[in-house]
Structure formats: C-alpha cells, structure tokens
Amino acid sequence: MTTFNEFDPLKAKQAPDSEVTIRAMKRELTNILDSYVGWYDPFCELIQNALDSVEERASRGETNYVPQIRIIINIQDNSVIVSDNGVGLTKDKYEQFLAPSFSFKSGNTRGHKGVGATYLAYCFNHIQICTKTADFSATGKMINARTWLSDENPAGNPKVQPDPGGSRDAEFNSFDSGVSIYMRFDKTTYPSDLSWIRSDTAEQWFVILSIKTGLGAFFTNDKVKVNLTVIDSQGNTSIKEHTGIAFHYAHQAGSKSQPVRRLREKQEQLLATKGKDFKMPSAMTNLDAIYDTVSTSELGSLIDLDDFEKEICQKYNPTVYFCFVYSVKVWQSANEGLGLRQGVSIITPGIQIAANNMPQGEVIQVPLMRNIGRQNQMQVVIHFENCRGDLGRKGFQKEIVDFSKSIARKLTDKPVQQFRYTLRPVTGVKDDLVRENAIDEWKDQMVKHETDCPLRLVNENFFIPMRQIAITSIPTREQDVIALFNQLIAGGVVRGIRIMSTNERFTYDGMYRVVFSNPSELHIYDAQTNPLGVQKDYVAKALESKSHFESKPKILEYKYSLDALIEDIGNGDKNPKDIGLVVVWETGDDYQGNYHVTSLLDPDDLWQRQYHGVTHVMTNLTSGQREMDLIVIKELIEYLNNPQEVIPKQREKYDAGK
C-alpha cells in the first residue's frame, strides 16, 4: 500500500494557520453543515458519489467492466459503508476533496458543488476513506471533526491520518479501483441512531434508499450492480443484491395499477365500438392506482399550460411522473411493510422534485383548491434538466417549485379525475375482527353509562310555547350543525332518535338509538302535520304487540358538509359500514361517482324512510347496498318551510343520478 504523511484537508484552501483564518474556515464549514437538514443526507452523499464514480468509469468504454456499489448498514455498530469500483481518487484528489468548494466533477454529475464530501468529513466524528487507482492507494481516517467544529477553543485542526487497518469493507479488496467510505454516527450527529426508524432488513432499506437517495434514479440505469447488506441490532445479517437503479414509484405499492395512456386508449377504442354504455375490462377496473410518465412534449396534451409553464418547459425540459391511489391506505400499508416506527413515512403523497437523475429536497404538498383530501392520494415526481438544488439539500428555485405545484394540481384536477372511475371503490378502513370488536366494546361502555347515569327532563311547559328554534342564523361550521340538530330533536321536529352520551375513545362522533313509542301518530307520516314521519304500516310493525321500540346503539357522525365525510372515508379514517346516520348542513358533491343519494323528501321515495326525521339515504354505486342514512338540515328546513317548492328541486338534484 502506498504511504502518505498526515495532512490537513483545509490546507487545500492555502490559508495560513492563523486564528482569524481558522475561525473564518469554521464559519464556512458551519454554513455548509447547516444546509444539510435531512436524516438521509449522509446516505445521499455517499451513494451519489459512488454512482458518479462508477458511471464515469463506465463512460471510458472499458471491456467487461461491471459497475458495482456495495452498501453496508450496520445498525449494531451505528455505521454505514459505501464502496464502489469506480475511478478512485488520485493522491492530489485524495488530499483535496474534503475541503469546501473543491469538486472534480462536471455539471452533468449528481454532485458538483464541492460541499458534499466536506459535509461527510466535518459533520461526523468518525470517517474512514479508502481509495485505489492504478498508481495510488491509501486508507486514512479522521476522528472528532464534528467535536472540533463545535469547540470554541480547539487544540488544533483535525487531520486525516493513515489507518493501517485497511478498509472496513473486506470486499473492497477485490476491487481493482474505487473508493470505500466508512462513517459512524453518535449522539452529537444527525442521524444519531440508525435503529431509530426501526427498519432492519436489506429489503426494507433498499426501498428506502431507492426513494431517498441516488439509488432512486428517475431514468433507470440497468447496468449498475448493487449489493446491500444490513446488520440489525442483534447482529443478524440480511443481503439484497440487485442489478439496476430506479426510483421506487408509488404505483409499485399497489397490487393492481394501469398507466393513464393505456386506459385512455382502451376507453377510446370501446367508445368507438360499443358506444357510451361500454364497460372497461376487469384488468382496468378496481385498480389500486392509476399512473403515467410524460415527457415535456406530451404534457400539453394532458393539461393546459400557461405561458409561464411553457417557458419552464422550454428552459428545463421536465419529465413528469404522477400516480393517484384509490385510498391513503395504500401509503399506510406500504410504510408498514418497511417496518418503520410509528409516525415515520417513506412512501408518501406529494411532489418530489428531481434533478441530475436523483430525488432532491423535501416532499411538497399538492396544493389543491377543492377536494383537498385528494392531495393525500397523489404523488408527483418531476425531473428537471439544467437544474440544480440549493447548497446542501434545502430545495430549488422558486420558479421550479411554483411550476411543480401548478402541474401537480392540474394533473390531479384533469387526467386523474377522468379515470377515477377505474379505481377500487372507497369502502373505508378494512373490515376486520379487531375493528368490529373495538366498536362493540365502545357500544357496551355507552350502554352501561346510559343505564348507570340516566338523564330525564319531562315538562309540559317546555319547548312547545315558542314554536321556533333558538338559533338565529344558518350554520357556518360543524359545531353549529350539532347545536341545531339537538334543537330539532328537543323541539320534536325529529322524533325518531335518542342521543346517547359518548366519549373520545373512538374515531366517531357519537351514538344514537332509533325509537318508536305511543302514541304512534307521532311517527306516522302526514303531509301537513308530520311530513318527516314514516309510513303507517312500518310504525305498526315496529310497535307490534308493544308500546315502545328501541334499537341497539348505532354510530352517529356530524359534518358541516358531506364532503368532509367522503374525505375521511377516502383517507381510510372512517368506514361507511360502521356509520348509521350522518347529520350535515349540506351534501356537497364529492359523493358523486362512488355513491348515489336518494331524497326521502320526495313523497315517491317516502317508503325508504325507516325512522322519523331521515331526509336522504346514501347507496354505494358499486355494491348497490344502502350504506348510511342522512339528515341534511338545510334541505330539511327548506322543505318544512315550503314543501311544494322544494320537492321538484329535490327530484331535479337527485333523480338525475338514478
């Protein structure tokens, strides 16, 4: 092995060893380090340097050369090693590349700002760098650089010293050329503990690195051979070998997905041959995701581009990937498969900007103007040419970010909406014994509370004399809807419901019982005196041979608009099969496409009202099953004030969807 004398990487700046220049250098280093804020930044820098090196060597046209990268994540040792069989570092480069603003790369490589290696050297307390070239090889280490940088009065600059132990990666010895870097983390660094995210297998880490680092190449390179070894906290080893680097896209998280262009081609074909009543083939329905990748020239055929967007397209030649999933459950399930700690997500919705063939910067939320719940179902990755991120990993120029947000919004609003009908129907959270059991336990608790702590207020002098509600203006939020609904019950406008006390244990708002009691006329429909009643035979059946009927507890939800519940269902937060009654001020329109709403204010559909006060029912379009009862207070009040005017409007609004 070639030997060398210890050296100070900062000497490459040719600055004299004076207190003033050292403090100035430390300020420069601190500014560089402050620009790196991500947990995965050290992995990004190590891997991008390795990829640049093997791709540079591959470009030289060597016969039989196979680019290789080895990654060892040792959770037990709290360290990472990245080795490559690329071009290696000459002696001059080896002694210079850790200094700030020194870069030997061109603008076409992933890293070329000259700060990444400096970050690796001075943001951590233990780094080993091994290199091999045809005429130079060396192994050196630098210790406690991070501690030195934080020390106001350090004893001297940290130096790279010869390390006779050789590379920490034993397989690096088999490479004829390249670089191997070992780094160890501690409580003063970020990350400080590799076990924090909980992922501990090579399969899991490969997906993570294919999203967060240069292994996630936007444009696939199928030549690079990757060997990833993960040693967990107990010393168990797992290995993932893979040829090729590519971004781990959102549609890979689902089991059934189709490109939008293929859906469009099939739709146009079926329209031409079958007419408007065509049905898509089963391979193109009930999808987990719809997605596509479009070039700059194709983008204008999907969405309308304004002058600013056309200018950005001409300047940066963006390529856009987008994916819309049927439910946020897709992200949740995918992240659970990575073994991540609670609250940590790798596969996420949002906008990921990419440049130099790798993801860079943090994920940005898709800024929808309406139907904002859908921003949690959309992933967009946009790659820009002739573009670079800011110093470190902070982000991109404002025009790049603004363009990305606008394109993501337009893609969500147009091509995605055109083919949402091909996605799986939204049925909320998964039906399983654990969920059902939790709901049953909640109901049992509330029944016990109802028995142990009854509440009664019966007085013939209350409620009747005023003959009007006490709320003086229309609701503006959910709390107003709750207050108004309870006034309607107390005033006898709605008579078939009794509200149970509840708690905050579960995700739903409350519980109720359906009741029928004598005199039965209180529940029987009469167009003039009891327009919210039910048919006489239904009441008679409920009260058959008894004077009082009371149902088991049912789940009650309040919303200002039904749109909010549709969003909760789409997010997987709530399950329509759990819910008995939804009380809202207005319906909105997001239910369309997945549900049909039938108005029971129309006398023709009165037969579907099962208990007093229900104004509408919601039916799943896919299954045809009745799912939830609705009380739409705005339309209820309009109906009671002027039924003859409202009934035709109800038919016009809801019958069109039949």
Per-residue pLDDT of 396-426, as tens digits, reads: 889 999 999 999 999 999 999 899 989 987 6
Q: How confident is the model at residue 221 (pLDDT cuts 50, 70, 90)?
A: very high
pLDDT, one tens digit per residue, over 243-289 is 999 999 999 988 899 999 999 999 999 999 988 888 899 999 999 99
Q: Round to whole Å and give the CA distance between 414 and 274.
A: 24
CA atoms of 36 and 45, how far apart (whole Å): 10
Q: Is the pTM of this model over 0.85?
A: no
pLDDT at 106 over 60: no
DSSP string, 375-425: GGGEEEEEEESS---SSTTS---HHHHHHHHHHHHHHHHTHHHHTGGGBPP
pLDDT at 316: 95
pLDDT of residue 103: 57
Q: Report the pLDDT value the prediction gives residue 426, as an integer from 0 to 100.
A: 65
CATH superfamily of 9-246: Histidine kinase-like ATPase, C-terminal domain (3.30.565.10)
CA angle 173, 179, 182 (to 5 degrees): 90
pLDDT at residue 351 above 90?
yes
The proportion of the chain whose per-residue pLDDT surpasses 90, expressed as a percent, equals: 54
C-alpha to C-alpha distance for 158 and 139, rounded to whole angstroms: 16
Q: Is the pLDDT of residue 23 over 80?
A: no
Residue pair 114/100 in contact by the 8 Å Cβ criterion: yes
HEC secondary structure over 137-204: EEEEEEECHHHHHHCCCCCCCCCEEECCCCCCCHHHHHCCCEEEEEEECCCCCCCCCHHHHCCCCHHH
Domain extents in the chain? 9-246, 251-422, 433-657
Q: For residues 182 and 463, give the distance between their C-alpha atoms in angstroms, rounded to a whole number.
A: 78
